[in-house]
Structure 1
Amino acid sequence: MPLSYNVGFFGILAALIASMGQAFTIQPAFKDTLILLLGVMASELKNVNAFWVGLSYGSKQKADTLAQAMAEIGRR
């Protein structure tokens, strides 16, 4: 999920930057929509990445704790 979110965010950003340099044109109404979408995605980018990174880190901690507990039980 975070990869596709990041690709979408930076893809929209790249399209808007390219349209400013006249590489191609975007209709004004569609450009406004893209700018709004970019703002919404920018405000949530940190939260999306923190959720997935935090989730992975929490899972690793849980797995390490369980492995340590199982090792202690095995020693008894």
Structure 2
Amino acid sequence: MRAALRKAAGLKQDEVAEVFGVTRVAFHRWETDQATPHRRRLEAYARLLNGWAKKYPEAASAPPVPEQEAS
């Protein structure tokens, strides 16, 4: 769902990673639930996801994106 929300917003992983000040790989791990951001980033990321979910409800209910398509 996280990747679907990001894609619905028209953004790439590296674009969002840059805003958070992390590498694309680190962001990919957040997006695929392989890692959790530190507290301040986690709170900001949660707000971002919640905002996207409200703006793009169809993406919020989308099935998970296969990993090779996650960028």
Q: Structure 2-normalised TM-score? A: 0.36
Specify the structure having the higher radius of gyration (Cα). Answer: 1
Bigger relative contact order (CA 8 A; separation at least 6): 2
Bigger proportion of residues as helix: 1
Q: Structure 1-normalised TM-score? A: 0.34
